[in-house]
Amino acid sequence: MFCDIKDQLDNPTVRTIMAASAYDPSPQAMEQKAVEFRRHESWQIYGWVENDEIVGVCGFEVHKDYVEILNIAVAENIRYHGVGGKMITALWKKYEMTIEAETDDDAVDFYRKRGFSTTATQKYGVRRWTCVLAALKSLDQETDKERQARIYPVILSEYNPAWPEWYAEEKNNLERLMGTENIARISHFGSTSVPGLTAKPTVDILLEIKDDANVSKLIDALSSPEYICLNPPDMPTPPPHLMFLKGYLPTGFAEKVYHIHVRYPRDSANHAVIWDELYFRDYLIAHPETAAEYAVLKTKLHKDFEHNRDGYTNAKTAFIREVTEKARGL
């Protein structure tokens, strides 16, 4: 439930959550923030309540044509469970207007993952981001396809050195869930595997399972709601025709997002396979100038395909094919 909590500005829980999104989280600064909310009649502060407990706080101001988020934060023990996205969706449903926010480098991906367009500006001598979620139509009028395009946009981020750590974390998780006896090899590929490369913050994992692995048990092991299993006709891939998504919440992306591509390590003639994606990855790592060219292409395409993930992927195909053929020496 998303409800007005302006009369609870002295609540220690509310102040603790608010402090998580503040530049200065000190008690003195939080007291001053409470004073400001009381002084400005147009400033609203709502809380997300679950099981009679406030777990999220969103301060905002309603203008004539848009809603401005002043601060948004979630209780530490429930972060990365979609509460922030739920509050933004609730705001949109309540006012059906464009939502705007200003943030820094650390928090900009939170807004990107929830469908906001982001523009860099300079303020106070540092880089800031203006984030805008346009209200194109009432949420009640959105089709499923339009909603998915809005909440799962193409996001491009500067290289994050934590991405290899995300991969290692999920690799360990897959080994635990499946058992190493069923796995032939696990590999990190895609742009997040190339140091320094601008990328969608989605970790691509190639999971090669042994020929005698029980696919039905694999599907059961990687079960919903945490994993989403795609198979034909949704996602035709090389045998065993499986792909798993992780980090797709009902309100947008989680902090960590994974695409897990499941394949056999050998082809129909029983030859060991080195997949194109691994050739492409290794070539970009060995040729920084080609990786830089790829980054420029992705940035250019992002402008046209921010809310068209399939179009964005298809538009990169020719470049990827050309580089892969070079890598294979064809």
Domain ranges of the chain: 2-151, 163-328
Identify the pLDDT of residue 128: 92
Tokens of 210: 């042994």
Which of 3.40.605.10, 3.40.630.30, 1.10.287.130, 3.40.1390.10 is the CATH number of 2-151? 3.40.630.30
What's the pLDDT score for residue 254?
85
Q: What is the pLDDT of residue 81?
A: 80
pLDDT score at 140: 62
SS3 (DSSP) at 32? helix
Let me know if 8 is exposed, middle or buried by CB neighbors in 10 A (0-12, 13-18, 19+).
middle
* SS3 assignment for 239-305: CCCEEEEEEEECCEEEEEEEEEEEECCECCCCCECCCHHHHHHHHHHHCHHHHHHHHHHHHHHHHHH
Contact between residue 110 and residue 84 where contact means Cβ atoms under 8 Å apart: yes
pLDDT of residue 251: 76
Lookup: tokens for 89: 């969706």
Encoded amino acid at 171, one letter: K
| Runs of H (alpha helix) within 115-265 | 144-151, 163-178, 215-221
- With contact defined as beta carbons under 8 Å apart, do 259 and 302 qualify? no
28's tokens: 């003195």
pLDDT of residue 93: 84
The phi, psi pair for 165, rounded to 5°, reads -70, -40
> Cα-flanking dihedrals φ and ψ of residue 261, to 5°?
-100, 120
pLDDT in tens, the chain (330 residues): 899 999 999 999 999 999 988 888 899 999 999 999 999 888 999 999 998 999 999 999 999 889 999 999 999 888 878 899 899 989 988 888 899 999 998 889 889 888 888 999 888 788 999 999 887 555 567 778 877 877 888 989 899 999 999 999 999 999 999 999 999 999 999 999 999 999 999 999 999 999 899 988 999 999 888 999 987 656 556 778 889 999 998 878 888 999 999 999 987 667 788 899 999 999 999 999 999 999 999 999 988 888 889 899 999 999 999 999 999 987
Asked if CATH classification 3.30.460.10 holds for the domain at 163-328, the reply, yes or no, is: yes
Paired tokens of 196? 């320094």
User: Is there a common fold for 2-151 and 163-328?
Assistant: no
